Amino acid sequence: MDMSKYKSMFLSEAREHLQKMGTLLVGIESDPQSRSGIDALFREAHSIKGMAASMGYQQTADLGHHLEDYLDHFRQQGEVSVGVIDRLLAGVDLLETLLDDIDADREERSVVSFCTSESPVGKLDQTSPKAARPTPEEVNLQIDLQLLDKVASPAARLLVIVKQLANLGKVLSCEPTEELILRGGEVRRLTAIIKTGLGASEVKSCLENYSEVSRIKVGPPQTKTACGIVSGGATVRVGTDLLDRFISLTGELITNRYMLQSAAGEKDWGALKEGLGGLARLVKDLHHQVLQVRMMPIDSVTGRLPRLARDLARKSDKEIRFELEGTGIELDRAILEELADPLMHMVRNAIDHGIKKQGTVTVRAWRQRDQVMLQVADNGVGMDPVTLRQRAVEKNLISPAQAEVMRDYDALQLVCLPGFSTASQVTDTSGRGVGMDVVKAAVEKLGGVLHIDATPGRGTRFTLKLPLSVAIIKVLLLNIDQKQVAMPITRVLQTLEIDRSQVQTSGKQRVFSLNEELLPLISLRKILGLPVRKAMAQIAVVITEVLGRKIGLVVDGFAGQSEVFIQGLPSPIDRLGGLGGGTILGDGRIVFILDIQGILERRR
């Protein structure tokens, strides 16, 4: 049987179990006598053992079994010490690396040394696993056979043989796969790998009972496995009620199509309009449902945070209380993947720099209209805008003049400037190279915004405002030199038209005043290398933020808003900095999404 298609399902399920175990262990630490916690852990280990055994991943199954026995011991005792939790966490880590081995098609590393190592309660007996251990003589054999040309119903014949192989041992892989054989046709060759205690000659003579077989070869496996198509892609779990809605929507779309076709055929414009109205509604529904498939609860990235917090707290000898709220909130999986590292970094920062000795770190998620808010807050020292301004000036990131006029809100954002993190701030847990600048860039790349607010002495809060989906976003269409380009609405702070007289010059830079702030004016034509236009009486300006500063982007005009589906650009176009994707408008025109930051960064 072809196990490769089950591998990715096994891995995602096993990883979920491991994550649960990590969370449970951290929970038990604060409540060591929680019987239900220990029970739950036991069940998780048991599940992992069972799944691994049925997939034939022996080392993983053995380790799962060992942890299961270990936990069983404490189920009876009713209490676990910190040392035991450490050992269990180490076991969970080892299971994770085993899963990585499996994912990379490597052989599972041995767990023998872990299972026989000293445990805080003295040596446990080396457990004899209840799962079947392969007898020392079980080997992998590769079987190649071919059917005679004159054989009738060759596919059926191969199917019978494949079933027979399952009686001789465990079929690890076969080509063509059973699925392919079932499609029938002219399949006459079979290559299979089985794990069996029988010798090669025994297997061969069993297969020689089939006179339809012309050539049989049985021997050690020649090439590495991977027969058939290895599904490397990620999988999604979709609820059946969602699938039911798809089916019924599809039905309605089909009906709608017939309606439109017949209306067009009879040139009945009234009915056509009505049908189009129905189509619009159905498409909107379908869009909504499809997005649901991509939604995953935030818990999938926040799940490992309690464990991280605990480890960091122990390492830096601080007393940290970690709280997680709103983890049932769902977000597009693409967004979640990008958030995993930023979240860990922010939690690290909170524990390393935010809290001196004792404190609480809270990660909260909640919905606000069509956005999801994700917040990392601590009740520690609180960043001080005054100190931040000073440090930025010291590092030559801003001039003293800029520091003087800078508002507190912008001063807090200074931590997101590349180069802000100093050597004195880097601890061995925070590490180098992952600064808040990377976090902010990641958030903005997703079309989100990062807010920072802090009160010295009370704490700091980092709030991420995220769109629900990456694929379909609202954009502002801009006219520029008879073309149109698009900018994500989330990057647009304001649009306005200013009078020519409002433009001032400050040195070489054209600026204008908005709300008592002087903002530089940057011509989009100029940075795109397009011919400069004669100055108009009214100037269209888009206020946006780049590299931590507000600027006014001068364009020819505005062409309204649109909800568009962003497509990634294919190679080699995607290497041009400054483009964040492309989209096709309703009238068929291709419009590129501008990434102003990217364009300006290249100019530096």
Partner 1 sequence: MPQRVLIVDDAMFMRNLLRDIFSAADWEIVGEAADGSEALQKYQELRPDLVTMDIVMPLRSGIEALQDIIAADPAAIVIMCSALGQESMVMEAIQNGAKDFIVKPFQQEQVIEVVRRVLG
286 binds partner 1 (CB under 8 A): no
Minimal distance, residue 159 CB to partner 1, in Å: 5
Is 393 a binding residue for partner 1 by CB under 8 A? The answer is no
In the set 104, 132, 152, 537, which binds partner 1 (CB under 8 A)?
152
In whole angstroms, how close is the CB of 172 to partner 1 at the nearest point? 21
- Strand extents, DSSP E, 184-329: 189-196, 213-219, 295-297, 319-325
Indicate the DSSP class of residue 107. Answer: P
Subset of residues 238 to 257 that bind partner 1, contact rule: CB under 8 A: none
DSSP assignment of 508-573 equals TEEEEEETTEEEEEEEHHHHHTPPPPPPPSEEEEEEEEETTEEEEEEESEEEEEEEEE-BPPPTTG
Determine phi and psi for 570, rounding to 5 degrees.
-80, 160
Instruction: Record the tokens describing residue 568, joined without a space.
Output: 């990634």
State in angstroms the smallest separation of the CB of 568 from partner 1: 42
Q: Which stretch binds partner 1 (CB under 8 A): 148-156, 413-421, 515-523, 574-582?
A: 148-156
φ/ψ of residue 482, rounded to 5: 65, 10
CB of 365 within 8 A of CB of 372? yes
Any bridge partners for residue 449, and if so which?
Answer: 465
Note whether 153 binds partner 1 by CB under 8 A: yes
Residue of 76, 128, 201, 211 that binds partner 1 (CB under 8 A): 211
Which one, 102 or 181, has the nearer CB to partner 1?
Answer: 181
Say whether residue 482 binds partner 1 (CB under 8 A). no
Q: Between 5 and 549, name the residue whose CB sits nearer to partner 1.
A: 5
How does 50-71 read in b/e, with b if 16+ C-beta sit within 10 Å? ebbbebebbbbbbbbbbbbbbb
Instruction: For residue 329, count other CB atoms closer than 10 A to its CB.
Output: 18
Report the residue number, 181 or 542, with the smaller CB distance to partner 1.
181
Minimum Å distance from CB 175 to partner 1? 17
Q: Segment near partner 1 (CB under 8 A), from 180-188, 250-258, 336-344, 509-517?
A: 180-188
Rounded to the nearest whole angstrom, what is the least distance from the CB of residue 171 to partner 1 in the complex?
15
Residue among 106, 163, 215, 273 that touches partner 1 (CB under 8 A): 163
Complex with partner 1: residue 151 or 334, whichever CB lies closer: 151
> Which is closer to partner 1, CB of 124 or CB of 156?
156
Residue 25 to residue 74: CA distance in whole angstroms: 13
Window contacting partner 1 (CB under 8 A); options: 147-155, 267-275, 362-370, 429-437? 147-155
Measure the CA–CA gap between 171 and 2, rounded to whole angstroms. 8
Stretch of 78-86, 152-160, 230-238, 438-446 lying at the interface with partner 1 (CB under 8 A)? 152-160
Token pair, residue 201, equals: 């000659």
Considering only 87-95, 150-158, 234-242, 389-397, which stretch makes contact with partner 1 by CB under 8 A? 150-158
Q: Which stretch binds partner 1 (CB under 8 A): 91-99, 155-163, 439-447, 468-476?
A: 155-163
Cβ 138 to partner 1, closest distance in Å?
Answer: 23
**Residue 488 to residue 581: CA distance in whole angstroms:** 11
Structure token pair of residue 360? 């609480």
> Which residues in 541-600 contact partner 1 (CB under 8 A)?
none
With binding defined as CB under 8 A, does residue 155 bind partner 1?
A: yes
Say how many C-beta atoms besides its own lie within 10 A of residue 604's C-beta. Answer: 5
DSSP secondary structure of 139-178: EEEEEEEEE-TT-SSHHHHHHHHHHHHHHHSEEEEEES-H
- Is the Cβ–Cβ distance between 476 and 593 less than 8 Å? no
Residue 457 tokens, joined: 């002495």
Residue 113 vs 209, nearer CB to partner 1: 209
Scanning 34-42, 118-126, 158-166, 346-354 for contacts with partner 1 by CB under 8 A, the matching segment is 158-166
Q: In 10 A of CB 245, how many CB atoms?
A: 16
Beta strand segments in 422-458, E: 449-455
From 24-32, 149-157, 459-467, 501-509, give the range in contact with partner 1 by CB under 8 A. Answer: 149-157
Considering the complex, what minimum distance in angstroms separates the CB of residue 210 from partner 1? 7
First and final CA of the chain: distance in angstroms? Answer: 58
Nearer to partner 1, 121 or 151 (CB): 151
Residues in contact with partner 1, counted by CB under 8 A, come to a total of 13
Nearer to partner 1, 211 or 506 (CB): 211
Site for partner 1, residues 181 to 210, rule: CB under 8 A: 181-182, 184, 209-210
Smallest separation, CB 217 to partner 1 (Å): 20
Choices 130-138, 157-165, 315-323, 380-388; region in contact with partner 1 by CB under 8 A:
157-165
Pairing of strands 371-378, 517-523: unpaired
Distances (CA, A) of 307 to 7, 24, 39, 310: 26, 9, 19, 5
Token pair belonging to 187: 């399949």
CB atoms within 10 A of CB 124: 14
Contact pick of 112, 160, 229, 405 for partner 1 (by CB under 8 A): 160
Kind plus residue range of the DSSP H or E element containing 100: helix 82-103
> Which CB sits closer to partner 1, 128 or 209?
209
Work out how close the CB of 198 gets to partner 1 at its nearest, in angstroms, rounded to a whole number: 15
The binding site for partner 1 (CB under 8 A) comprises 152-153, 155-156, 159-160, 163, 181-182, 184, 209-211
